[in-house]
Structure 1
Amino acid sequence: MSQNDLEHGRAIAERVERFVRDVVISYEKDPRATSHGPTDELVAELRGLAREAGLLTPHIDADGSHLSQRATALVLQASGLSPLGPVALNVMAPDEGNMYLLGQVASAAQKRHFLNPLVRGETRSAFFMTEPAEDGGAGADPSMLKTVAVQDGDRWIINGRKAFITGAVGAAVGIVMARTDSGDGKVAATMFLIDLPDPAVRIERVMETIDSSMPGGHSVVVLDNLAVASDQILGAPHEGFRYAQVRLSPARLSHCMRWLGACRRAHEIASAYAIRRHAFGKPLIDHEGVGFMLADNMIALKQAELMIDWCAGVLDTGALGTTESSMTKVAVSEALFGVADRCVQVMGGTGVSGDTVVEQIFREVRAFRIYDGPSEVHRWSLAKAVKRQALSQNLAIKSAYRS
C-alpha cells in the first residue's frame, strides 16, 4: 500500500466525518429509525444526501478500485460516528462485506447484475448462512449446515431455514450458503446468488434483538424449493467454506472500524457530560472515580485503533489474515464494550436513557461481541493455533537436540 493511498483515505475520512457530524447525526431521532433498523424510506433519503455530497460508497473509487484496508479503516471509523452513518454512506453490514466478496469472487456478468447496483447504493443485500439453533443448524460452526442444495439439470433446488439474516426484509440481492455433495464424501458448501424477493424465500418472522442499526433487522427465513440457475453459483461449486473466510476476515475488521467510530462518539458525549455535571461541589470529571474511567477509555480507544491498523496492514499484504482478524475481533469488541459501558456509567441515569445516542451504542457494541463469531469461538480457534505452534516449536527443539 502506498502513502498516497493512505493520504487519499485520510482525505475521504475527513469529508465523511464532516458529513456525519453536520448532516447524519440530526437524523438520529427520526421516527423512521426503528427498532428493526432505519426504514427503506430513511435509507433512501440519507443515501441521496450522501450521493449529493459525493460520498456514497466512499471506500470504492469511481473506477471500481477498492481502498486499501488501512485507508478503509479511516473512512469506516469516521462513518461510525453515528449508527446511521454507515447506512447513509453505504458501508454498512452486511452490504459492505457482500460487496467485498462479490468483488473478489463474482464473474463479470454477476458483478454487473448483483454488485454494481449495490455499489451505487440502489439496492440492499443479505447473507444467508446462519441457521436456527432449534434445527441443529450452522451458527459459529458453518460445517453444521442443514440447508441443502441439490442439482437438477442446469439448476439447483435449495431447501432449509436460516436465522439472524440481517437485512433480508427489503433486500434485492441474496447470497445463500447451502450444503452440496462434492462426491468425495466430505462436507462441502456452495454459495448461490439470488434475486429478491422470491416466492420461495419466505420471511418467517423478524426477530426482536438488542441492536437496531441495520436496515431490515434480523429475520428467520424459510427456503422452500428455491430454484437457482447454475450460472448464479458464486465462484466455484463446493467452495463455499473457503469463500466464507474470504468474506469474514475483512468483514470482522470492518465491524471493528465502524464501532470504533461509534465509541469515540460515546466517549465525546460522556466527557462533555462529566464536565457539565456537578456533584459534591465539583464537576464529575474531577472525581477520580469518573476521571479514571474516561482515562481508561482513552487507552482502550487507542489500543483498538492500533490493533485495527495492524490487522488491516496484514490483509493489505494479500494474506487471508484469519488469525489476525480473530485476534482483532476479540480484542476490539471487548475493549469497545468496556468503553461504551464506562460511558453509560459516567452518565448515570442519562446514560441508560434515550436522551443521547450512548445507550444505543452500548446495545450495538454488546451485540458486536457475538456476530461474525463470538469471542469464545475466536479464542478456541486461536488456542488451536497456539497448540500447533507449540508442537512445531517443541519438535524443532527436539530435532536440534538430536542433531
Structure 2
Amino acid sequence: MLYPMSPKVVELKRRLDSFMDRHIYPNEERFYREAEELGPWKVYPVVEELKPLARAEGLWNLFLPDSSHGAGLTNLEYAPLCEVMGRSHLAPEVFNCSAPDTGNMEVLERYGTKEDKERWLKPLLAGEIRSCFAMTEPAVASSDATNIESSIVREGDHYVINGRKWYTTNATDPRCKICIFMGKTDPDNADRHKQQSMILVPMDTAGVEVKRALPVFGFYGVPDRASEVVFTNVRVPKENMLLGEGRGFEIAQGRLGPGRIHHCMRLIGLSERTLEKMCRRVRSRVAFGKPVSEQTVTQERIAEARIMIEQARLLTLNAAYAMDTVGNKVATAEIAMIKVAVPNMACQIIDWAIQAHGGGGTSNDFGLTQAYATARLLRLADGPDEVHRNKIARFELKKYSNA
C-alpha cells in the first residue's frame, strides 16, 4: 500500500468493523423508520441506545487529532476509520464523529475560552448535546461567503445579532444547544475577508427561532437535519466572540479543511457499500436468459466503479497526508481536488446502482436514494464544485505566471 495503516489503526479498524457488523447494519432499517416516523424535530432512540455501546468499546471521538479527548489520530490515520463509518448513515453520530459537531468541537478546542470548553465542548465530547453551524444564507449566493449579510453589532458588553440562515445542520434537533454563527462585524472594511466574525450563540437565547426543517431530496432528518433559522436582535455577551472580530474567515478555513476531507472519506465508504449492493443485486437477477451480472454494460460499470473508488481513495489519502505534513493552508489544492472528485464519483456509482436495481432502486428500500441525496448534497456543501474547480485552476495557472 502507498499509505499503509499503522498497527494502532489496524486494530481500531478491526474493532470498528466488528461494531458495524454487530450493531450498525442490523439497526439501519430501524434508523430509517424512526427518522421517517419521528421526523427531524425528534431524537432517534436507536442512536441514543448505540452511543453508550460505542463509547464503552473505545470507539469514540476518533476524529480529534492531537487531543486528550480523542484517539489522537492524524488525518491519514483517521481516513480508513472514517471510511468505515461512512458506509452507513447511522454510524457517524453513534461514534460521536458526525458533522457539524466534529468541526464545531475542533473550533471550540482551538479558539474557545476555558469557560466555553467547560460549558459547550465538554458535553459535546460526551455526546450529551449537539450543535449547529450557521453560515449559509438564502438571500445571497453563499458560495461566495463574503456575500454574507447577517450582522453582529457591538453594544457595550454585548453583541446584537440579526440574520436569516438556512442549511443550518442540526438546528431542529432538540439536543442542539449551541450555534456557531458567522456574520459581519465590520461591513465597510476594505478587505472583504476581514468583515466577518464568528460568535457563539446559545440556542435558547431570546430571538433565536428555528423556522423549519429543510428537506434534502424529500428526506427530513436523513441524511441531514437541514434547517432554516432566524436571528432577531439576539444579544450575547462579548466574551462569546471567537478569536476576535474580523477573524471569521480564518476560523472557517481551519474548520472547513478537516470537514471537507471527512465528507470525502465517508463518501468513499458509502461508494464501496453501494458497489457491494450493486454486485449482489446483478448476480441475483436474470434478464433475457442470463444473469444481469453477465451483461457487458453491467460489467463495464462495475469495472469503472472500482477504478473510480480506488482513484478517489488515493487522492483523498494524498490530501490527508498533505494536511498532516504541510498543514491545511498549504494543502488547499489537494483538499479542493477531492472535494470535486469524490462527490462526483459517488453520484455516478450510486446512479449506476439505482439503474441496476431497476424500479426498486428509486424506492427507499435499498438505501440508494438516501445515498444519492448525500452524495449530491456534497457537491454543494462546504463549497460547490465550481468554486473548488476555479481554485484548482488558479493554482495551476499560477505555475506559469512568468511564462
Q: Normalising by the residue count of structure 2, what TM-score does the alignment of the two structures yield?
A: 0.90
CA deviation string 1:65-117 (max 9, x = no partner): 53100111111111111111112111111111222222232233322222121
Superposed displacement of residue 197, structure 1: 2.5
Whole-angstrom distance in 2 between the partners of 1:340 and 1:201: 38
Alignment of 1:185-334 (within 5 A): 185-187=190-192, 188-210=195-217, 212=220, 214=222, 217-317=225-325, 318-320=327-329, 321-334=331-344
Count matched residues. 388
Superposed displacement of residue 173, structure 1: 1.6
Q: Does 1:159 align with 2:165?
A: no
Distance 1:308 1:150, change over 3 A: same
Matched-pair contact (CA < 8 Å) for 2:222–2:370? no
Q: 2:35 aligns with which of 28, 33, 36?
A: 33
Superposed displacement of residue 373, structure 1: 1.0
Alignment-derived partner of residue 357 in structure 1: 367
Matched-pair contact (CA < 8 Å) for 1:212–1:364? no
Matched-pair contact (CA < 8 Å) for 1:163–1:220? yes
Alignment-derived partner of residue 123 in structure 2: 117
Whole-angstrom distance in 2 between the partners of 1:262 and 1:276: 21
Matched-pair contact (CA < 8 Å) for 1:17–1:81? no
Q: 1:181 aligns with which of 174, 179, 186?
A: 186
Distance 1:153 1:344, change over 3 A: same
In structure 2, what residue type is equivalent to 1:363? Answer: A
| SS of corresponding position for 1:29 | helix
Q: Normalising by the residue count of structure 1, what TM-score does the alignment of the two structures yield?
A: 0.90
Q: 1:97 aligns with which of 82, 103, 124?
A: 103
Whole-angstrom distance in 1 between the partners of 2:119 and 2:336: 32
Matched-pair contact (CA < 8 Å) for 2:223–2:373? no
In structure 2, what residue type is equivalent to 1:176? Answer: F
Q: 2:56 aligns with which of 31, 52, 75?
A: 52
Superposed displacement of residue 48, structure 1: 2.8
Alignment-derived partner of residue 400 in structure 1: none
Matched-pair contact (CA < 8 Å) for 1:213–1:364? no
| SS of corresponding position for 1:92 | coil
In structure 1, what residue type is equivalent to 2:345? Answer: A
Alignment-derived partner of residue 397 in structure 1: none
Instruction: Show structure 1 runs of 5+ residues with no match.
Output: 395-403
In structure 1, what residue type is equivalent to 2:267? Answer: W
Whole-angstrom distance in 1 between the partners of 2:392 and 2:266: 24
Identity %: 31
CA deviation string 1:248-270 (max 9, x = no partner): 11111100011111111111111
Superposed displacement of residue 5, structure 1: 8.1
Distance 1:102 1:56, change over 3 A: same
Distance 1:86 1:212, change over 3 A: farther
Superposed displacement of residue 4, structure 1: 10
In structure 2, what residue type is equivalent to 1:103? Answer: E
Whole-angstrom distance in 2 between the partners of 1:5 and 1:17: 15
| SS of corresponding position for 2:320 | helix
| SS of corresponding position for 1:175 | strand
Q: Does 1:370 align with 2:380?
A: yes
In structure 1, what residue type is equivalent to 2:60? Answer: L
Alignment-derived partner of residue 69 in structure 2: 64
| SS of corresponding position for 2:235 | strand
CA deviation string 1:197-232 (max 9, x = no partner): 323110122112225565871111110111111211
Whole-angstrom distance in 1 between the partners of 2:87 and 2:17: 8
CA deviation string 1:181-205 (max 9, x = no partner): 2885433111111222323110122
Q: Does 1:86 align with 2:84?
A: no
Q: 2:137 aligns with which of 126, 131, 139?
A: 131
In structure 1, what residue type is equivalent to 2:93? Answer: V
Matched-pair contact (CA < 8 Å) for 1:127–1:166? yes
Distance 1:192 1:372, change over 3 A: same
Distance 1:324 1:37, change over 3 A: farther
Matched-pair contact (CA < 8 Å) for 2:35–2:222? no
Matched-pair contact (CA < 8 Å) for 1:69–1:315? yes
Higher alpha-carbon deviation: 108-117 or 268-277? 108-117
Higher alpha-carbon deviation: 67-76 or 36-45? 36-45
Distance 1:70 1:87, change over 3 A: same
| SS of corresponding position for 2:136 | coil
Matched-pair contact (CA < 8 Å) for 2:63–2:102? no
